[in-house]
Chains A and B, each alone.
Chain A
Amino acid sequence: MLLISAIVSGLAVGSMYGLIALGFHVTYVVSNTVNFSQGSSMMLGAVLGYTFAIKLGWPMPLAVAMALALCALFGLVVERALVRPFAERGSNAWLMATVAGGIVLDNIVLFTFGKEPRAFPSFLAQKPISLFGAGVFPLQLIIPLVGIGIAIALHLAFHYTRLGKALLAVVQNKDAARLMGINVRRAIAFSFALSTALAGLAGLLIAPLFSVHSEMGMLFGIKAFAVAILGGVTSASGVMLAGILYGLLEALITAYAGSTYTQIVAFTVVIIALAVMPNGLLGRAASKKV
């Protein structure tokens, strides 16, 4: 009972981490930069979904599509305003800029959306179904499926499609990619749009299990970053796997050692894992020649 419920909740929460972490993966493989406001992007997805579906009463598919589209737009803004001005001149100030961008977005949402957490009801998270004796919301089973599905789709897209390979080419050699006729700026912008849309999707999926407010993404963003790194940020499947493992780890520590130790043990595992596997679970170091 304890084990099954821990596994079920670990899987669902872990795939959430994985989904946001895939956003880190996407921008990293294309541009070697990441958006440290991913947590805020996730929050934006949930807040917009709530606004469209609950406040304005739009049909759910339309609300979701619109929320994801606006999240993608936010990604474009992040890339254009917070990453490109720094990354193109080789400065790593994009790190700070995206953090600051996240703070600004959180606070804008605080004043426009409101200060109270709101509920985002969904029929997928109201009646639990029984799985091996443990109660589970259907949504908790859907999240891992979506997460794994997207990780597989990303892997296939990057390795077996023309566009995917073009995106991979961009990070390996920007000039050579240009010479192939690849619009490098657009490719990078696209990766950011995709990355924030993935985070937005994570926000929409988690909202019915959680609550919607301006700071809901903060800790998720940090844990997702841990997961992205742990999985080896260059590998989509590694990132998703790490997400699930991290979620399971947290749930199992809580279930068997008690919640006091969850964070300490989980973060210690991150450090040890990285010391043993400096490129993460499935990540690969760029081939280096002396």
Chain B
Amino acid sequence: MTAPKTCPSVMTFVILAMTVAAVALVFGTKGYTHFIIALVALTTIVGVGLNVLLGLTGQVSLGHVGFYAIGAYVAGILTIKGLSFWLAFPVAGLVAGAIGALLALPALRVTGPYLAMVTIAFAFIVQHTTIEWKDLTGGQNGLMGLVPPQIGARIFAEKELALFATLLAGVSLYLFSRLANSAWGKAMVAVRDSETAARSIGLNPVSIKTAAFAISAVFAGLAGAIFAPLMMFVAPDSFPFSQSILFLLAVIVGGAGWVLGPVVGAIVTVMLPELLSHLAEYRLLFVGALLLVVLWIAPEGIIGTLARFLRRIDPAGAKAAPDFDLAQFLSGGIARHRLEVSGIGISFGGIKAASNVSFTAEPGRITSVIGPNGAGKTTVLNMIGGFYKPDAGHINLGDSELAGAAAWRISRAGIARTYQTTQLFGEMSVLDNVLVALRQGRLGNPLRGAASEEDRRAAEALLAFAGYHGAMAAPANSLPHVDRRLIEIARALATRPQVLLLDEPAAGLMKSDKVALSALIKRIADLGVAVILVEHDMALVMGISDHIVVLDAGSVIASGLPADIRRDPRVLKAYLGSGEMKARPRPAPWSGSQDAILTCLKLSAGYGAAPVLEDISFTVKPGEMVALLGANGAGKSTAMRAVTGLLRPVDGSIIVDDERVERMPAHRIAASGVALVPEGRQVFPELSVRDNILLGAYTRKDADREAELEVLLNRFPRLRDRLSSRAGLLSGGEQQMLAIARGLMAGPRILLLDEPSLGLSPAMINELFDVLAELRDDGVTILLVDQMAVLALSVADRGYVLESGRVVRDDTAVGLSGDPALEAAYLGRAEAAQ
């Protein structure tokens, strides 16, 4: 599903041409063909409505035949009662739209299959109401003698109705193309791609989705109003549940989200059964089978699949116009206010996640919130941002009280934020991501283009300011991590915030990117924005903060200037750990068997066309600990995925002991004794800690599980207390320990660790590397990938350095640590905190 990208004027021309062609066809043909054209047009109109719902807001409705029936009955009943069709027609659309808005109330509370069910239930209620409300609807036998529309003396027979339906279908397609390019359309896509992020740029998902439901219902109602005179008869059986499925099918077969999707889909789903009508009783069988064939060939819809071959992305990057005054844009001429947080607290299920947290964020200053994992930092951000409602306390921006207000209101009041895991609108272009935020939730005319020239200039300037230089037309989800961070910051700035909340913006960035990021954050503050930063990277925090607040277990334990915080003994104890981060090297250099446990020879792998790994070779010997080093995007994680079978196919060979595994699926490689502790922990959040650990031994037949579990719990005492709680409730550090324990439970011949320190507090990282050193000393064979290169090399025996998918150096850990060139390029001593 992709938002329409074709230039609107070309699209207008295409729609016009198709409409003219259909009109010409009506004039060139007779009775039955008119009828079929009318049915295709009506299906197109309903499809356009469904496309608003499915294509733009991503909601599935299996109940649209209900709106179609409502439109038909309203038009039928009113014309029979003597009202002119030309009045009954808009009334039918309005009634359907009003009921659509009403249905949105329950429908918006549910998602996925639950939403599907609500719409199905709606369709059945409509059907049974038409059956039982006999006085109005004629019951099962329906309404006879429907009055055809008339203009002057001209009575609308099927030819005129076909023309009318065709014109309306053309108008519908045109309106859709305008809507999709308007701020409303973009907002709908934004809500679909990330409802969370949509709220934090001031969009109210409830009103946007309700609008989508209502618009969608209006189209179905109008089509139904034409269906009634076309058929000259309506009955409950004219609107079977299967028709809902056919409508949805038309949109999916054509390509959801594409302007022309519904018309292509309507042609297929209406014409196919007609072409097969001579099959009589075998028709349904063939229709079902052929639809399956279409779905198999074009799973993204016909237009979507065609577009995949034609799609090209304009490579133009953002350029700030020299005369664009960003400071003026951001301040907007309003006086800046400070954000005062006083005494806020919240508990979940009796557990206090934050209590009595107070601090002030001054305009133009950087206020950092630090603390160990699980200290409640993100919880505090979520309360300020309006995602959690605090149980107590106040949040004031200037004079206005924001505690407990909805997220979109808080955004409009001037508080913007970014997320730990970036929340971009993935299917939208980079530029649109910023443009949609510029509106600050004010969407305006649904038929006007989303962006003025001025908006475009502002968006470009913001992207350039944030340091994004890639293609502005690229879909956001295709970009590397760093770029997504920068775009998210640009998008947050587009709402012209007084306060900017940044949640771990440096997580997963390499050194040079972090330097650029610190500079960016400083520049943002210099423009007068109050920045609140949650971050683990102490070098970054200490380097740029004006004020630091330290949280532990939900409470503020210290606050003050960086220099004071650095020396505060409580902070050292709770968070930073005792002094410098360090890891314990092996007491004596490693010597052991030279028969490798893991060998990769000339391994190449990648996603799609471009290889990420090219001809890399490395070995790990029994009992050895080897580090894979390199910048972001160098291919470290890809190598881990290739070795464990998560990434297939690969070229070259991967040998575990004497067995070649490069063609094996992941689960068999795991069974052969290769355990990966994946990046981001990836514990099973809904299972208990105990079940998580035990699943590690899934393929082992002989293991004494209870005894081994006991050994692991002795190694990870933190897990013992949490043994029966859900893994998803654990803090990041605990989850990391759990993931390692789970990996060890497999009794692996080799343990692979992918970025185990990512997102952990300094104290936690120290604890982690202590564990790794212990495991090494106990003789576990380890292959380690970690951003903390200095630490990694201090525990490892050997290392390989990757650059752009190739091994550029391999040496002993000591040898690599001493190499100044490498240090400069990848390691950066400063990252090991102060």
Q: Give residues in A with beta carbon < 8 Å to B.
A: 28, 34, 81-82, 85-86, 89, 91-93, 95-97, 99-101, 103-104, 106-108, 110-111, 162, 165-166, 168-169, 172-173, 175-184, 222, 225-226, 228-230, 233, 260-261, 263-264, 267-268, 270-272, 274-275, 278-280, 286-287, 290
Residues of A within 8 Å of B109, CB to CB, are 274-275, 278
B292: contacting residue among A101, A168, A175, A271, CB under 8 A: A101
Contact A173 B682 (CB under 8 A): yes
B698: contacting residue among A111, A166, A286, CB under 8 A: A166
Min CB gap A47→B, angstroms: 16
Contact B196 A290 (CB under 8 A): yes
CB-based nearest A residue for B248: A96
Residues of A within 8 Å of B646, CB to CB, are 175, 178-179
Contact A263 B124 (CB under 8 A): yes
Residues of B within 8 Å of A108, CB to CB, are 285
Q: Does B699 contact A (CB under 8 A)?
A: yes
Q: Does B378 contact A (CB under 8 A)?
A: yes
The CA of A216 and the CA of B114, in the complex, are separated in Å by 25
25 examples of A-B residue contacts, CB within 8 angstroms: A93-B252, A93-B299, A97-B295, A104-B285, A106-B284, A107-B282, A162-B694, A168-B686, A175-B682, A178-B670, A180-B670, A180-B696, A180-B742, A181-B667, A182-B667, A222-B120, A263-B124, A267-B124, A268-B121, A270-B121, A271-B125, A274-B117, A275-B106, A275-B118, A278-B114
Residues of B within 8 Å of A184, CB to CB, are 667
Given contacts A271-B121, A290-B387, contact A169 B684 (CB under 8 A): yes
The CA of A222 and the CA of B245, in the complex, are separated in Å by 13
A107: contacting residue among B60, B288, B726, CB under 8 A: B288
Contact B671 A181 (CB under 8 A): yes
Min CB gap B477→A, angstroms: 11
Q: Which residues in window 274-308 of B have CB below 8 A to A? A: 281-282, 284-285, 287-289, 291-292, 295-296, 299-300
CB-based nearest A residue for B691: A165
Residues of A within 8 Å of B729, CB to CB, are 287
Contact A183 B665 (CB under 8 A): yes
CB-based nearest A residue for B379: A290
Contact A183 B295 (CB under 8 A): no
Residues of A within 8 Å of B289, CB to CB, are 100, 104
Q: Does B261 contact A (CB under 8 A)?
A: no
Residues of A within 8 Å of B392, CB to CB, are none
Contact B105 A179 (CB under 8 A): no
Contact A169 B687 (CB under 8 A): yes
Contact B667 A183 (CB under 8 A): yes
Residues of A within 8 Å of B668, CB to CB, are 181
Contact A226 B121 (CB under 8 A): yes
The CA of A274 and the CA of B120, in the complex, are separated in Å by 13
Q: Does B601 contact A (CB under 8 A)?
A: no
Q: Give residues in B with beta carbon < 8 Å to A.
A: 60, 105-106, 109-111, 113-114, 116-118, 120-122, 124-125, 128-129, 132, 196, 241, 245, 248-249, 252-253, 281-282, 284-285, 287-289, 291-292, 295-296, 299-300, 378, 382, 387, 419, 644-646, 665-668, 670-671, 675-676, 678, 682-687, 691, 694-696, 698-699, 726, 728-729, 742, 746
The CA of A86 and the CA of B742, in the complex, are separated in Å by 31
A178: contacting residue among B60, B665, B742, CB under 8 A: B665
B295: contacting residue among A96, A275, A279, CB under 8 A: A96
B678: contacting residue among A99, A175, A261, CB under 8 A: A175
Residues of B within 8 Å of A287, CB to CB, are 685-686, 726, 728-729
Residues of A within 8 Å of B665, CB to CB, are 178, 183
Contact B245 A99 (CB under 8 A): yes
B118: contacting residue among A82, A100, A111, A274, CB under 8 A: A274
A225: contacting residue among B106, B117, B282, B299, CB under 8 A: B117
The CA of A290 and the CA of B684, in the complex, are separated in Å by 18
Contact B241 A222 (CB under 8 A): yes
Residues of B within 8 Å of A225, CB to CB, are 113, 117, 120
Min CB gap B168→A, angstroms: 26
Contact A181 B686 (CB under 8 A): no
Min CB gap B277→A, angstroms: 15
The CA of A261 and the CA of B105, in the complex, are separated in Å by 23
Given contacts A103-B288, A178-B645, contact A264 B670 (CB under 8 A): no
The CA of A100 and the CA of B246, in the complex, are separated in Å by 10
The CA of A92 and the CA of B55, in the complex, are separated in Å by 12
Please indicate which of the listed interface residues B105, B682, B694 has the most CB atoms of chain A within 10 Å of its own CB: B682
A173: contacting residue among B122, B128, B684, CB under 8 A: B684
Given contacts A175-B646, A179-B646, A225-B120, contact A272 B106 (CB under 8 A): yes
The CA of A180 and the CA of B281, in the complex, are separated in Å by 50
Contact A280 B382 (CB under 8 A): no
The CA of A230 and the CA of B284, in the complex, are separated in Å by 31
Contact A278 B110 (CB under 8 A): yes
Residues of A within 8 Å of B129, CB to CB, are 264
Please indicate which of the listed interface residues A97, A107, A179, A286 has the most CB atoms of chain B within 10 Å of its own CB: A179
The CA of A169 and the CA of B746, in the complex, are separated in Å by 16
B291: contacting residue among A96, A162, A179, A230, CB under 8 A: A96
Given contacts A107-B285, A267-B121, A275-B110, 13 further A-B contacts (CB under 8 A): A85-B299, A86-B295, A107-B282, A111-B281, A111-B282, A162-B694, A175-B678, A176-B683, A178-B645, A179-B678, A180-B746, A267-B128, A274-B118
The CA of A254 and the CA of B129, in the complex, are separated in Å by 16
Contact A275 B686 (CB under 8 A): no
Residues of A within 8 Å of B111, CB to CB, are 278
Please indicate which of the listed interface residues B253, B684, B726, B742 has the most CB atoms of chain A within 10 Å of its own CB: B684
B686: contacting residue among A34, A166, A172, CB under 8 A: A172
Given contacts A93-B299, A263-B128, A290-B382, contact A101 B121 (CB under 8 A): no
The CA of A173 and the CA of B676, in the complex, are separated in Å by 14
The CA of A165 and the CA of B111, in the complex, are separated in Å by 26
Min CB gap A62→B, angstroms: 30
Contact B295 A176 (CB under 8 A): no
Min CB gap B12→A, angstroms: 29
Residues of B within 8 Å of A92, CB to CB, are 60
Contact B291 A172 (CB under 8 A): no
Min CB gap A21→B, angstroms: 11
Contact B299 A165 (CB under 8 A): no
A267: contacting residue among B125, B300, B696, CB under 8 A: B125
The CA of A238 and the CA of B753, in the complex, are separated in Å by 39
Residues of A within 8 Å of B695, CB to CB, are 165-166, 169, 180, 182
Min CB gap B115→A, angstroms: 9
CB-based nearest A residue for B106: A275
B296: contacting residue among A85, A270, A290, CB under 8 A: A85
Min CB gap B605→A, angstroms: 15
Residues of B within 8 Å of A267, CB to CB, are 121-122, 124-125, 128
Contact B110 A274 (CB under 8 A): yes
Residues of B within 8 Å of A228, CB to CB, are 113
Given contacts A166-B698, A176-B683, A180-B670, contact A226 B120 (CB under 8 A): yes
Min CB gap B709→A, angstroms: 14
The CA of A271 and the CA of B117, in the complex, are separated in Å by 8
CB-based nearest A residue for B291: A100
Min CB gap B608→A, angstroms: 13
The CA of A181 and the CA of B253, in the complex, are separated in Å by 37
CB-based nearest A residue for B407: A290
Please indicate which of the listed interface residues A81, A91, A108 has the most CB atoms of chain B within 10 Å of its own CB: A91
CB-based nearest B residue for A233: B113
Listed from nearest, the 7 A-B pairs whose CB atoms lie closest are: A275-B106, A181-B699, A103-B288, A178-B666, A181-B670, A107-B285, A229-B117
Residues of A within 8 Å of B666, CB to CB, are 175, 178-179
CB-based nearest A residue for B682: A176
Contact B113 A28 (CB under 8 A): yes
Min CB gap B198→A, angstroms: 13
Min CB gap B814→A, angstroms: 32
Min CB gap A238→B, angstroms: 13
Residues of A within 8 Å of B696, CB to CB, are 180
Min CB gap A33→B, angstroms: 9
Residues of B within 8 Å of A290, CB to CB, are 196, 378, 382, 387, 419
